[in-house]
Structure 1
Amino acid sequence: MWWRRKKRTLPDFCEDLARGVMALDEDASAAAMRGIIGSLDGAGPAELTEGVRRLLPAVQQVSIGNGGQLAQVAAGLIEAGADPFVLLEVLVERVTDGLEQAARFPVLVDKDGGGFDAPGSQEEADALIDRAARAAASAGISREEGIRLTESFFTIDEWIPSLLLPLQQKRVRQAFPGRERLAAAADAMTDHADAAPWMFGLLQVLDDEPFLVIHRPTGRAYRLTVSGVGDNFQLHTLLAATLIGDPAEGLIEGARPAPAWIAAATDGPDLQPSGGVRGQFELFGADGERIWGEGRPADIPVLDGHRVVVLDKPSYARSWNTGRVYPLMHPEISLDQKLPEPEAATWLKKITDPEAGH
């Protein structure tokens, strides 16, 4: 009937949440959250994207200290299928600015004796703010700025997940604004914000990166293109899965990684296969230095325009638990060329043998 009230949709509840957060109205915000949760399952990409769009003005304006809930809702909507680009620029700016302010807080409180704990009550929070205000006066900055540094330090971790999800999409990484500034800000907070190291790692991820892989025992060499790999453990598994095969076809003889290991390193639901993942090679850079599994592909040195990986026989059995560190980031690795023997031999001469005393 025409007089019946129109059913409220997810974008409506997102707009309610934005208003409630800006007004510091906890009851209205809680009601909006219930509405968002209740309508999320039935929402398609267009509705999810419109919901994110309704959050945009509040995400731009809310203080770092009060905006964590908005940022987390945005992350959830993006994970569910909203267009990540609607909020990307503003989230990058807010998170970068918040991290930079947060990194100044420990320096600020050092002026007031150093040492601090996260407040567990309103009384402790008020005491910490008063302390920051005293330190701000000593540092020649305003009380308001001292409070902003304090709020940022204790709440920026709530904002970071809003970027962890979109950064696991290749198209977002390729168009990501302000990468270097955000990476520097995240690096400065890795000891203080739990999510900062994860974001820093995503900002180091390579896409469409040329690799030159040399198998030292056979002298064979290969050109590959790599995208979306989180660490060198994952790279190890993917290289083995790509290059181990029929020697008659120019591949490396050996036992390929188990299907469960490959699935864990690509897009399988089980990131930690039973019994762990075992390595097939010893990895070195062109400089003869070992490539550690805990490192990242971006750490591998470049030689003549390629990141060079040298595969050697393993000196001991090694294994690791997790196939990939970013569950929603799907890697790409393509074998572009098996190099002719003369070209492979030329590359082999360029690299340093770790046994030669380098």
Structure 2
Amino acid sequence: MSTSLAEHVDALYSAVERAGPDAFQAALEGIVEATQRSEPAEVSAALERLEPMLARIPLGMGPDLAQVAGAMTDFGGDPASVLATLVERAAGAMEQAARFAELHRAAGLALPDPGDFDAVGETRDRFTAAVQVRGLAGEEEAEDLLQAWYCGDSWVQPVLFMNQRRDVRRALPQRARLLNGVRATREYLGTAGWLEGLLLVLDDEPLIVLDRGFAGTGRGFRVTIGGIGDNFQLHTMLAAALIGHHLPGRAPAPAEVAAATDGPDLTPEGGIRGSWNLVDHGGKWIWNEGRPSDIPHLDGVRVVVLEPEPYQRSWNAGRAYPHMAPLLRIDEPLSPQEAAAWLSRCTTSS
């Protein structure tokens, strides 16, 4: 008879209290296996029981647990039971990792690679001695900072994973603190930069989209977007929604649209071709490398003006976040008078 998910959680608590690291790892592997065959209610109950452990386990011991807890939300586990705790631990880890880098510089030491786990022992000895002799930190604080440096990425990862869900983004606590953390550590922790993109994702965001020079129709549209990770994705999804339906031109191929929305192949053969140039109301290019949140407002609404491509462009990937469900909806066309009024307030691209 298979061991239940609840029994594996019991084993994990026993391993933390008495049995040691091998038993801890075995119990975690059991949780992963049992989660995949358990009902959502059982997974949610297990997550609730794991939350106190997530809150107190040392950073250096808990990365695998944190990632397992994040993954359990993909098997029906309620993210609400662990979201606040995982955010607290991720934010704290980034803050401590930034402090580690600050003290390293203050001590005149070269920063180690946070992914080089073979160097942990040497780094611990060198860093602890250097900060203690200079009175910058005690041995216990030095150890905490060291763990954050080497394990911070793993604590950020489940928050990154969960934030690809709209319900999690809506309920996310401490957004400003997380943003401060990722901006302090994105130079060192790879997951921090990816989390920053998710923290800036717009949901249920209205746009005014105006055709000026692309097809020269002068038409305009009210659009709602959500869950779009960058302007490459916005570019393709706008083209798929408008070209061939409301505007003339070459619409993206089905494989390109799938890569930008919900298809399994994010990098279709031949890449993804650009359709137009996106410009803001002030005449500045909306770079594909940016995000929809970068687009400036005009009277409280972000405005996108469609212009012809200045040169042919293509890129490889359709979307930055494979598990995030994007939305782009054409709500209604503007009347000719409305479109003309909006266009009259938009500066021509130079």
Q: Name the counterpart of 1:59.
A: 54
Give the letter for the 1:228 counterpart: G
Rounded Cα–Cα distance in structure 2 between residues aligned with 1:23 and 1:133: 29
In the alignment, structure 1 residue 229 sits paired with structure 2 residue 228: yes
Report whether the alignment pairs 1:314 with 2:309: yes
C-alpha distance 254-134 of structure 1, shift in aligned 2 (>3 A): same
Q: Deviations over 1:96-137 (max 9, x none)?
A: 011011111111011222203248677x53442233333433
Residue 300, structure 1, aligned to residue 295, structure 2: yes
After alignment, is 130-139 or 253-262 more displaced? 130-139
Equivalent position to 2:29, from 22, 34, 46: 34
Q: Distance in 1 between matches of 2:338 and 2:32?
A: 59
Partner of 1:328: 323
- 2: distance between equivalents of 1:24 and 1:66? 14
Q: Of 178, 188, 202, which aligns to 1:192? A: 188
* Amino acid across the alignment from 2:69: A
**Identity over aligned residues, as a percent?**
43
Q: Using a 3 Å threshold, how does the CA distance of structure 1 residues 254 and 125 change in structure 2: closer, same or farther?
A: closer
- Cα distance in structure 2, aligned partners of 1:22 and 1:156: 24
* Alignment-derived partner of residue 280 in structure 1: 275
**By how many angstroms is 1:14 displaced?**
2.6
Matches within 5 A, 1:337-352: 337-352=332-347
Q: Matches of 1:333 and 1:344 in 2, distance apart? A: 20
Distance 1:84 1:322 in 2: 29
Scaled by the length of structure 2, the TM-score of the pair is 0.93
Aligned-partner residue type, residue 168 of structure 2: V
Give yes or no for the alignment of 1:169 onto 2:165: yes
The structural deviation recorded for 1:183 is 1.1
Shift in Å, 1:34: 3.5
- In structure 1, what is the Cα distance between the partners aligned to 2:235 and 2:199? 20
Q: Deviations 1:204-234 (Å, cap 9, x if unpaired)?
A: 1000011111111221111111100000000
* Contact 2:103/2:136 (8 A) holds in 1: no
Q: CA deviation at 1:140?
A: 4.0
Does the C-alpha gap of structure 1 residues 121 and 282 become closer, same or farther in structure 2, counting only changes over 3 Å? Answer: closer
Q: TM-score, normalised by structure 1?
A: 0.91
Paired AA for residue 129 in structure 1: R
CA contact (8 A) 1:112 1:131 kept: no
- Which runs of no fewer than 5 residues in structure 1 stay unpaired? 1-5
Equivalent residues of 1:14, 1:52 under 8 A apart: no
CA distance in 2, matches of 1:228, 1:38: 30
Show the 5 A alignment for 1:1-358: 8-21=3-16, 25-118=20-113, 124-137=119-132, 138-216=134-212, 217-246=216-245, 251-355=246-350
C-alpha displacement of 1:293: 0.9
Q: CA deviation at 1:18?
A: 4.1
Counterpart of 1:354 in 2: which secondary structure? coil
Count of matched residue pairs: 345
Say whether the 8 Å CA contact 1:78–1:165 is kept in structure 2: no
Compared with structure 1, are the counterparts of its residues 125 and 273 closer, same or farther at alpha carbon in structure 2 (3 Å cutoff)?
A: closer
Q: Quick one: structure 1 residues 344 and 60, their matched pair in 2 at CA, closer, same or farther if it must change by over 3 Å?
A: same
Q: Could you list the runs of 5+ residues in structure 2 that have no partner in the other structure?
A: none
Q: Which amino acid aligns with 1:227?
A: G
Root mean square deviation of aligned Cα:
1.9
